[in-house]
Amino acid sequence: MRGVILDADSFDRGDLDLASLTASVDHWEIHRATHKTETLQRIAGFDVIVTNKVVINSEAMASPGLQLIVVAATGTNNIDLASAKARGVPVCNVRDYASGAVSQHVFSLILALTTRLHDYAVAVREGRWQKSDVFCLLDHPIGELEGLTLGIIGHGNLGQRVATIARGFGMEVLISARPGRSEIPSGRVPLEVILEQSDVISLHCPLNEHTKDLISAPQLRAMKSTALLINTARGGIINEHDLAEALRAGDIAGAGIDVLTQEPPPANHPLLANDIPNLIVSPHNAWGSVAARQRLANEIARLITAFRSSHPANLCLP
């Protein structure tokens, strides 16, 4: 069996043990990155395709000999699942490998915004502490998480983990009903309640027809002016132009964003402007701890081995 990895740089930077992955097929061809114009040529004749973000469309599904697609991530929106099903090509994804890393990053953003950590670090670099008349700087208001309310939109493994950590900080937790559902299950509250009552809102839902632009200008205006918004889920759940304007207007107090609609973003992306206050944008690396990426590589190997043993796992076909 021959396998090809199309975008290895997206998960391996030369710092992982790839022994199990290497042993999972008889021959690998590894590309660090693949442009869309190169995909068809690079997958031709391979039994197994491993891709993180490279699109595998209906034309690619017709590649001779293709037996298995493994997505080196959880999201499968870069795979034409309908064509895969029609051609009988199994598609597997890697699940729950980065919950520890992402939940850690969520609170890195929350804590940095709440304590104004970046502003104080800049103040020290600029020499303002050194010139202070007293022993400390208190130029920016420092908040505490204890007693605040965290609203979670998306209560899968990751949302549940974030909720557990929040309670450890002494926060109250509200769980949103699933967007697009008319009924409100026990233990959930409507989105409107999340917006009105939360001091921090953290997004952990998929991007679909119910969640695209879920947080736009009306929702931002409904939030507390002191609230923080965190998105480590998917770009497109928040309307990025509306968020930039809401932060400039003071409709909310701050935001921590790890995902954008276009990645890498263009230089003129609305959330990369220099005049937006109390905004932290990280480069979609919340998931990227060494430990999480090692689990990812090991799981890719497990999925291929399971398929070769006639026990495919983590199937994603509709």
CATH of the domain at 90: 3.40.50.720
What integer pLDDT is reported at residue 179 of this predicted model?
79
Q: Which of 214, 210, 197, 100 is nearest to 158 (CA)?
A: 100
- Asked whether residue 117 falls in the same domain as residue 200, the answer is yes
Looking at residue 318, its pLDDT comes to 65
At 139, the amino acid letter reads D
- Same structural domain for residues 92 and 143? no
pLDDT per residue, tens digit, the chain (318 aa), is 999 999 999 999 999 999 999 999 999 999 999 999 999 999 999 999 999 999 999 999 999 999 999 999 998 989 999 999 999 999 999 999 999 999 999 999 999 999 999 999 999 999 999 999 999 999 999 999 999 999 999 999 999 999 999 999 999 999 999 877 778 888 999 999 999 999 999 999 988 889 999 999 999 999 999 999 999 999 999 999 999 999 999 999 999 999 999 999 999 999 999 999 999 999 999 999 999 999 999 999 999 999 999 999 999 976
What's the pTM?
0.91
Number of domains forming the structure of the chain: 2
Which of the following is catalytic: 116, 234, 293, 302? 234
Catalytic position from the list 59, 126, 192, 263: 263
15 shares its domain with 81: yes
Residue 128 lies in a domain: yes
Domain limits at 85?
A: 2-96+290-308
**Domain assignment of residue 313, yes or no:** no
Same domain, 113 and 258: yes
Choose, from 188, 284, 295, 302, the residue flagged as catalytic.
284
CA atoms within 13 A on the CB side of 91: 25
Question: Is 263 one of the catalytic residues?
Answer: yes
At residue 129's C-alpha, the angle toward residues 125 and 132, to 5°, is 150
Please answer whether residues 281 and 265 qualify as being in contact, where contact means their C-beta atoms are separated by less than 8 angstroms.
no
Active site residue 181: no
Strand pairing partners for 315? 92
The answer to whether residues 258 and 130 belong to one domain is: yes
Q: Indicate if 92 and 145 belong to the same structural domain.
A: no
Could you count the other beta carbons within 10 Å of the beta carbon of residue 147?
A: 10
Residue 134 token pair: 């007293």
Q: Do 12 and 151 belong to one domain?
A: no
Verify that 122 and 243 share a domain, yes or no: yes
Respond yes or no: is residue 245 known to be catalytic. Answer: no
pLDDT of residue 244: 98
